[in-house]
Structure 1
Amino acid sequence: MTTAVTTPTERVTPLHRNRDFVLLWVGAAASNLGSTASLIAYPLLVLALTGSAFDAGLAGFFGLLPGLLLQLPAGALVDRWNRRRLMIWCDALRGLGVASVVAALALDRLGLPQILVVCFVEGTLTVLHGLAAHVAVPNLVPESQLALALSRNEARGRAASMLGTPLGGALFTLGRAVPFLADALSYLVSLVTLLLIRKDFEAEPRKDTGGRMADQIGEGLRWLWRQPFLRVTTLLVAGSNLMFRALFLVIVVMATRSGASATGIGVMLGFAGAGGVLGSLAAPWFRRRVPLNVLVIVANWAWAVLMGVIVLTSSQFVLAAAYAAMWFVGPVWNVALGSYQLAITPDRLRGRVLAAMSTLSNGALPLGALAGGLLLDTAGPQGAAAALAVWMLLLAAAATLARSVRRNHDTV
């Protein structure tokens, strides 16, 4: 059984020459780009087939629903099954599902029920694949490179989001089936890279493949609850996720009210995405030099201050710069917290703990979308931004006052 553990006297291979990590990164980059392209193509396809905006929204809902409902059981399965084999099956089945859309389009037999089933199945397999890929990283790289590896993964995801959406629209203009064919091929690339990886994705062989899933999920939840720092920071992430999801809609409305065109808003959001990529690349530098408690507290106060700038400015350029700066801070926080969580969590629990944290933190996203709409309807864009600034100020104060945060001086 090969692992990524090294002794102090061993020479550490540079990350870009770590064959297995590079293969995993490239495969995930391809599938992320393809999935993001199809994400925008699905509603375009449904609109073209049915002309119903509700049906288009339904397709998006079915694709995102597994991320809300299935994180906890998926985490248990990731800890129970062989992770690499699980990811291979996920890629194969995701590719077949998307290929069925291409085939049905070619035969002129595609209907909304098939699209909804494919969206749900693809979303479910993506949850499993994403959890397994994330918790496998500590077994492919030495601990000293964990933050760097996670920063590269963070940059990969943000770049895929930034590039995949316009790519999906461009491919759809070439033909309705083209973005889905590209997505199917991206899963094939990911599958091939997984087959070429030599190292194991587990620290030790799986000994227990049975047991009640509820008990296994409970074990992960109890472990997380007994970690005061992770417990508090997970709740802080949930609070900031709620704010960011609401802020997205508020930013779009504020930019529109200030006279920005649709193209200008797209450029602004692309600028924010670039800020996220830069933050991902800078994250290892901060992780090595800044204690974890300082990163957590400063990140929350930076968001609070930048929210104040957004409330007070009437300039599109200042608005774009502040929003991009908020996106820069995000991956610095994500990499610091993610590397710490993976380093202290036993390998046999990593899938369940990550799933529990994701369920708690990402469960706030739909609430944020709802809050953004309600705030805009009742208080207008400026009032909505002010309310979100107050919310972020309270989160920053909570991070500062939390004893478990202040006591964590961990650095890598």
Structure 2
Amino acid sequence: MTSLWRNRDFTLLWSGQVISSLGAAISSTATPLLVLATTGSPLDAGLVGAAGTLPHLIANLPAGPLVDRWNRRLILLISEIVAAVALLSVPLAIWSGLFTIAQLCVVAFIQGVCFVFFGLAQDAALPMVVPPGQLATAIAANEARSRGATLAGPPIGGALFGLDRAAPFLIDGISYLIAAVGLLFLRRDLQKPPEGPAEPLVRAAVTGLRYVWRNPLIRASMLLIAASNFVFQALILVLVVLAGRQGGSASDIGLMLGVYSAGGLLGAFAAGRLHRIVSFRTVLVGVNWVWAALLPLFLLTTSPWQIGMIGALTAFVGPLWNVVIFTYAGVVVPNELLGRVMSAAGTLTWGVMPIASLAGGLMLTWAGTTGSLWSLSAIMLGAAIAATLSPSVRRAPPLAEAGSRPSDAETSTALR
């Protein structure tokens, strides 16, 4: 089989997103630093975080059917351009003295909407760009891309913020424009022709929800992802505040998040091999127990460096989790339904994030860093227990067999 890296369209799409993901990691590091430097309020930082993740709750469901019926290449391009314009408004506002937290909330919301549409279009297009036998490898490469960006982005974002508060947002805006140019050179058709007339938007969204709900293994997987996303979305804000209270500067916090992300990058490289030898069931159960064991260790830290090292261990197992679950979905779900199914799943798994951002700000305000860490550790322990006891997880087939048997959803009446 031809090497994945000789696939022109995949390489072009992957390379453009390296630049865009790096820019996003730079600005996402600077965002809570900018809020805390402006108002000093963890709750304000939580509000901005909630604004950025709210589109996952309200836009995912309608975006899926649109990704299945609209031109995916055009969706990718428009998403990059709109996000660039929104991000570039931040440095202009800072330099002119007109910056407000309300503006940052609006920019974060727009960027979140673009992220939803881009992510769904990219996920649905990937099986059209690479052959089935290379899908897991391509997903692992995408994991390495995003993890590499979150490794390099935080130290750069922290350092740039220390030089000029506007610089991280300027760099991110430019990165979106560069990625948009790369999309103009894609050649391959990114979607299959629709079969029959398009469903009404509401019915199409319900189709995706039914597919997820009627497949017990996908349903259980999405619920477990939702729990972990809630925990880690809130955890990042908690760790930033904790590091600041331990004497960390903006650069120290950026380096801490970079060390945290280094574990994810190493995990992404390992996931490309481990997914072939570790069973689906072992991943679904084992990763949750690893997280449940590691989270309480943050309570023992005394420096940002220690926080980063423990975070790196939690991040190491994340890519294997993502590769296994999303490879299963990419193999089992028909491509013409993939946008709808992924949007339904995303509504659940990413929709918890605005709630988590607000919860993180409220927990820090009411319970401090210690109470917040204990609460998040308890949630993660509950998820690990649920994964262990889930009948569908215990009966999960090997990943190699997933595509050779019909899913529960495919044999039901959900799509008729």
Give the structure-1-normalised TM-score.
Answer: 0.82
Per the TM alignment, residue 344 of structure 1 is displaced from its structure 2 partner at its CA by 0.8
SS at match of 1:289: coil
Match of 1:406 in 2: 394
RMSD (Å) for aligned C-alpha atoms: 3.5
* Greater Cα offset, 132-141 or 246-255: 246-255
Match of 2:275 in 1: 287
- Which residue of 258, 263, 276 corresponds with 1:270? 258
1:114-166 deviations in Å (ceiling 9; x for gaps): 76655433332222112111221111112222111111111222222333344
Q: Does 1:70 pair with 2:59? A: yes
SS at match of 1:288: coil
Give the structure-2-normalised TM-score.
Answer: 0.81
Equivalence map 1:76-87=2 (5 Å)? 76-87=65-76
Answer yes or no: is the 8 Å Cα contact 1:41–1:179 preserved in 2: yes
Per the TM alignment, residue 409 of structure 1 is displaced from its structure 2 partner at its CA by 2.6
**Structure 2 CA distance for partners of 1:217 and 1:309, relative to 1, 3 Å:** same
Equivalence map 1:228-247=2 (5 Å)? 228-247=216-235
- Which residue of 305, 314, 318 corresponds with 1:330? 318
The gaps in structure 1 that reach 5 residues or longer are 1-11
SS at match of 2:317: helix
Per the TM alignment, residue 308 of structure 1 is displaced from its structure 2 partner at its CA by 5.2
**Structure 2 CA distance for partners of 1:173 and 1:236, relative to 1, 3 Å:** closer
Equivalence map 1:13-412=2 (5 Å)? 13-40=2-29, 61-98=50-87, 108=96, 112=100, 117-171=106-160, 178-202=167-191, 204-206=192-194, 210-251=198-239, 261-262=248-249, 266-307=254-295, 309-310=297-298, 313=300, 320-372=308-360, 381=369, 384-412=372-400
The gaps in structure 2 that reach 5 residues or longer are 401-416
Query: Larger relative contact order (C-alpha < 8 A, sep ≥ 6)?
Result: 2
Per the TM alignment, residue 274 of structure 1 is displaced from its structure 2 partner at its CA by 0.4
Write the letter of the residue equivalent to 2:259: F
Write the letter of the residue equivalent to 1:185: I
SS at match of 2:276: helix
Q: Which protein has the larger Cα radius of gyration, Structure 1 or Structure 2? A: 1
Give, in whole Å, the separation in 1 of the partners of 2:190 and 2:32.
35
Answer yes or no: is the 8 Å Cα contact 1:80–1:206 preserved in 2: yes
1:39-64 deviations in Å (ceiling 9; x for gaps): 4556777899x879688876655443
SS at match of 2:396: coil
Give the fraction of aligned pairs with identical amino acids, expressed as a percent: 44
Answer yes or no: is the 8 Å Cα contact 2:46–2:360 preserved in 1: no
1:172-213 deviations in Å (ceiling 9; x for gaps): 5666665444334322322222221221111x2135675421
SS at match of 1:196: coil
